[in-house]
Amino acid sequence: MSAMNIATMNIATKELDKHYDLVIMGGGLAGLTLALQVRQRNPDLSILVLERRPQAAPEAAHKVGESTVELGMYYLSDVLSLRDYLEEVHLQKQGLRYFFTPQHELELANRVEFGAKNNLPIHSYQLDRGRLENDLVQHISALRVTTLLGASVKKVNIVDDGLHQVSFVEKGKLQSVSGRWVVDATGRGSLLKRHLGFEKSLDHNINAVWFRLRGEVDVDDWSEQTSWKEKVKPGFRRLATVHLMGQGYWVWLIPLGTGSTSVGIVADPRYHDINTYNSFEKALEWMADHEPIAAKQLALRHDDLMDFRMLKHYAHDCGRFFSHKRWGVTGDAGAFLDPLYSPGTDFIAFSNTFLTDLILRDHSQEQIDERVFLYEQTYIELFQRWLTLYQDKYTLFGNTQITVAKILWDTANYWAVPVPMFCNGVYTNQDLIQVLFATPDCIGKKFSRLNEQVQAFFLGWYELDNGDSYSLQRMFIEPLSLTYLYNLHVEMEHQYSEPVLIEKLAENLRILEEIAAALFALVFNRFKGTPIDMPIDPYTMSIAQSKQELLAAANGQGSFVARDVIAKEVGQMWFYTVADAGHKKQDSHSQTNDQPHVNSYEAESV
Ligand SMILES: Cc1cc2nc3c(=O)[nH]c(=O)nc-3n(C[C@H](O)[C@H](O)[C@H](O)COP(=O)(O)OP(=O)(O)OC[C@H]3O[C@@H](n4cnc5c(N)ncnc54)[C@H](O)[C@@H]3O)c2cc1C
């Protein structure tokens, strides 16, 4: 697949057949990539994509979903073999970059910055969604997927034992086709979900606005301080997804391969009323209060404004995802969580991979009932596990210490288990899923329990920590300078044999347990007065426990002390001054140091 000239875009207008093996309703990212994935696995299936948009999508000002992370990137570049195309047309993304400590709002160089200094060993892409969808339409059409633009689906009739009927209007004419399989990829239209009554609300109420600006926006230009600029390769900050973090919100800056820049505000209404930022002018006023440097810089770009969009309460869930009656939902038509960490494409990768597997097995006359059940449960479990990363967590974003710990945890968690599992085809390997998820103490269940425990821990920590015990500035946190994170990063796409993969996942889970134990030990030490070297059971200990309860639990069978190598690296991201922490023994770098503290601790007998 190579870049297409939109002006020459010409979708086949041949007569439609009356019947298709697969009818995909909606030709956005989810629908188009599903068509491609199924087609690549089986060139014989007849596939029809019905897309409401009547003409080529505009470049830049089209949709959100521009930033990808590793799992979704692996899906696009390796599973769908689009790597060369992505390299040619879209931008290499250099990770996620965060600016914390909004109290230094008047000088970006004074904020705590978190991000890469140099090229990441594994990079993902920043996508121009309009360009991508146009190119995908061309690509699948060349692979004999019938793609009809300007076709608005009106009705689906699910027939349990026969062919489903899909009615749509194209050029004012009502038409109908039948499909052995029907997949809803209509995004927030959620046609099938509404039709079958599977709507499900989600207790995660966050709002977003976004706009695109013509031309580049480079945060390197937002400060005059040469020493700060020189910390990172020139032009490199811009290639990341930049996040400006403050209590209850984050602001994104995403560069697009077609030369424009996407900007968004995502905020919890408990802290920021959407009516205070729901137009470009109001968004600038809101930024003037919370992110004044951004406000000043973006106001200069008023004439470059291409669009302005908003979405209230974007998170939503779905009661069912796949059925043995040969229907399914994918992408936003099913469920959506939150754009922080860009998981949208990851979830498209999951649902499309499950659906492709089911469709192809059904095509080769295999019984799919058991797999449908297994895949749906796995998808629901993934969604619920991911939800804990976001639910109630916008509260934390003004507390730099907790948010840094959380981002490091969330990143390690993601690279340690779900990414290697996806890259090694685990999710459609029934035997491996059984091994990894079926028993109470299996890796998958422990991984979920541990994450739930740590996510609850962050909220409990926040209750105890008013965040004013340290005053950080000019700190640069390079996450891949942490060995545990670097190793997880470079290994996440490795291909393993099944037994080695199971060992690897167990080893990664052990690393996560140690990170959790080391972090708990620091926090308990500071807020509960327990010894810094106290053994920790990260699966059972909770910040709600008293000092006595924690000390008693430290003698439990599951308690252990994290290895020095991990404890030391977790300690590097601990920002409290020595004077604040009763048990730390050394090293009080000034708070204006450019490097994080490296503290070490001495034991206190229990
Ligand atoms: C604020 C915000 C920021 C986000 N940022 C990111 C990010 O950085 N990275 C990321 O990975 N994800 C991100 N996401 C999520 C991402 O936008 C979605 O996961 C992704 O766009 C979903 O793609 P889709 O194909 O399911 O839906 P869509 O892209 O909406 O496609 C649905 C298609 O169906 C068509 N359609 C609708 N109704 C009908 C009908 N009746 N008949 C025929 N066609 C129809 C529409 O025209 C459309 O083209 C973000 C989401 C939000 C809310």
Cβ 51 under 6 angstroms from ligand 1: yes
Does 393 fall in a domain? no
Residue-wise pLDDT tens digits, 50-85? 999 999 998 888 899 899 999 999 999 999 999 999
Q: Which atom of ligand 1 is nearest to the CA of 72?
A: 11
Question: What is the Å distance from ligand 1's center to 312 Cα?
Answer: 15
Residue nearest (by alpha carbon) to ligand 1 atom 30? 187
E-assigned strands of 116-163?
Answer: 124-126, 146-149, 151-157
Q: In what order do the strands lie in the sheet with 96-99?
A: 305-311, 207-213, 261-267, 249-255, 241-246, 96-99, 113-114, 476-477
How far is ligand 1, taken at its centre, from the CA of residue 154, in Å?
Answer: 19
**Same domain, yes or no, for 358 and 481?**
no
Regarding whether 172 and 117 lie in a shared domain, the answer is no
Q: Tell me the best of 314, 332, 355, 386 to mutate to test the pocket of ligand 1, counting ligand atoms within 8 Å of each CB and taking the most.
A: 332
Token pair for 400: 């730099």
| Ligand 1 centroid from CA 329, angstroms | 13
pLDDT of residue 597: 36
Same structural domain, 155 and 31: yes
Do the domain assignments include residue 150? Answer: yes
Question: Which residue CA neighbors atom 18 of ligand 1 most closely?
Answer: 344
Hey, which of 49, 63, 68, 186 would you mutate to test ligand 1's pocket, going by the most ligand atoms within 8 Å of its Cβ? Answer: 186
| Whether 275 contacts 267, CB under 8 Å | no
Predicted confidence at residue 3, as pLDDT, reads: 55
65 CA to middle of ligand 1, Å? 7
Tell me whether residue 238 is in a domain.
yes
Task: Tell me which residue has its CA closest to atom 37 in ligand 1.
Answer: 186
| Cα 188 to ligand 1 centroid, rounded to whole Å | 7
Measured distance CA(71)–CA(353) in Å, rounded: 12
- 530 pocket-lining for ligand 1 (C-beta < 6 Å): no
Q: Which residues contact 332 (CB under 8 A, 6 or more apart)?
A: 28, 30, 187, 188, 190, 344
Sorted by sequence, the CB contacts under 8 Å of residue 20 that are 6+ apart come out as 46, 47, 48, 146, 177, 178, 179, 180
For residue 32, the CA-to-ligand 1 centroid distance in Å is 11
Domain count, the chain: 3
Q: Give strand pairing partners of 210.
A: 264, 309
480 CA → ligand 1 middle, Å = 31
The C-alpha atoms of residue 423 and residue 415 are separated, in whole angstroms, by 11
Q: Which H or E run includes 502?
A: helix 498-528
Q: Is residue 394 part of a domain?
A: no
Per-residue model confidence (pLDDT) at position 421: 97
**95 C-alpha to center of ligand 1: Å?**
22
CATH number for the domain harbouring residue 328 = 3.50.50.60
Geometric angle at alpha carbon 203, from 407 and 437, rounded to 5°: 65
Same structural domain, 282 and 415: no
Final residue belonging to a domain, choices 362, 387, 412: 387
Residue 380 covered by a domain: yes
Q: What is the pLDDT of residue 80?
A: 98
Atom of ligand 1 nearest to the CA of 346: 11
Cα-to-centroid distance, 345 and ligand 1 (Å): 10
- What number of other Cβ atoms are within 10 A of residue 475's Cβ? 23
CA 13 – ligand 1 centroid, Å: 25
- Max Cα distance, the chain (Å): 81
Both 499 and 523 in one domain: the answer is yes
Measured in angstroms, how far is the CA atom of residue 315 from the centroid of ligand 1? 12
> Residue 59: its pLDDT value, please?
87
> Is any ligand 1 atom within 6 A of the Cβ of residue 29?
yes
**Is the beta carbon of 149 within 6 A of some atom in ligand 1?**
no
Handedness of CA 352, 358, 362, 363 (dihedral sign): positive
CA nearest neighbour of 482 among 539, 412, 535, 533? 412
237 Cα–ligand 1 center, Å: 27
344 CA from centroid of ligand 1 (Å): 9
Same domain, 600 and 477: yes
45 and 171 inside one domain: yes
Q: What is the pLDDT of residue 517?
A: 98
Same domain, 308 and 323: no
| Closest Cα to atom 49 of ligand 1 | 28
Ligand 1 center to residue 115 CA distance, Å? 28
Closest-CA residue, ligand 1 atom 5, reads: 65
| Of the residues 314, 329, 351, the one at which a domain ends | 314
408 within domain boundaries:
yes
Q: Which residue CA neighbors atom 17 of ligand 1 most closely?
A: 65
Residues 188 and 261 in one domain: no
CA-proximal residue: ligand 1, atom 26 (nearest): 331
Cα 538 from Cα 516, distance rounded (Å)? 6
Q: Which of 64, 148, 265 to mutate to test the pocket of ligand 1 (most atoms within 8 A of CB)?
A: 64
Q: Taking Cα atoms as reference points, which of 23, 37, 24, 21 lies closest to residue 139?
A: 37
Give residue 579's pLDDT: 37
Same-domain check for residues 283 and 430: no
Ligand 1 binding pocket includes 334 (Cβ within 6 Å): no
Write the CB contacts of 498 (distance below 8 Å, at least 6 apart in sequence). Answer: 429, 432
Q: Rounded to an integer, what is the distance from CA 99 to the centroid of its chain? A: 18
Domain region containing 509:
399-606
In the block, tokens 């993601």 appear at 414
Per DSSP, the three-state class of 144 is coil
Instruction: Tell me, yes or no, whether 66 and 17 share the same domain.
Output: yes
Are the C-beta atoms of 37 and 43 separated by less than 8 Å? no
* The two structure tokens encoding residue 25: 């309703």
Question: Can you say whether the dihedral through the CA atoms of 323, 326, 330, 333 is positive or negative?
Answer: negative
DSSP single-letter state for residue 495: -
Give pLDDT tens digits for 313-351: 999 999 999 999 999 999 999 999 999 999 999 999 999
b or e along 331-364 (b: 16 or more beta carbons within 10 Å of the residue's beta carbon)? bbbbbbbbbbbbbbbbbbbbbbbbbbbbbbebbe
How far is the C-alpha of 330 from the C-alpha of 38, rounded, in Å? 14
3-class DSSP state of 376: helix
331 lines ligand 1 (CB under 6 A): yes
- Strands 96-99, 113-114: pairing is antiparallel
- Contact 60/258 with Cβ under 8 angstroms? yes
Verify that 150 and 291 share a domain, yes or no: no
Which CATH number fits the domain that encloses residue 307? 3.30.9.100
449: phi then psi, degrees, rounded to nearest 5: -60, -40
Contact between 558 and 517 under an 8 Å Cβ cutoff? The reply is no
Kindly report the backbone phi and psi dihedral angles of residue 115, in degrees, each rounded to the nearest multiple of 5, phi listed first. Answer: 170, 180
Helix axes 292-299, 280-290, angle to 10 degrees: 140
Cβ of 423 below 6 Å from ligand 1: no
Backbone angles phi, psi at 500, to 5 degrees: -70, -35
Q: Please name the residue that has the structure tokens 């470059």.
A: 304
23, 34, 49, 51, best to mutate for ligand 1 pocket (most atoms within 8 Å of CB): 51
pLDDT along the chain (606 residues), means of 10: 46 78 98 98 97 92 91 98 96 94 83 93 94 97 97 96 96 97 97 95 96 96 95 93 96 93 98 98 97 95 96 97 97 97 96 98 97 95 95 94 97 98 96 88 94 97 80 88 97 97 97 98 95 96 96 96 96 72 36 34 27
Cα(311) to ligand 1 centroid in Å equals 12
For atom 41 of ligand 1, the residue with the nearest CA is 153
412 within domain boundaries: yes
* 341 touches ligand 1 (CB under 6 Å): no
Please give the model's pTM, rounded to 2 decimal places.
0.93
Query: Given 314, 331, 362, which residue is the final one in a domain?
Result: 314
Contact 243/252 with Cβ under 8 angstroms? Answer: yes
Instruction: Identify whether 368 is part of a domain.
Output: yes
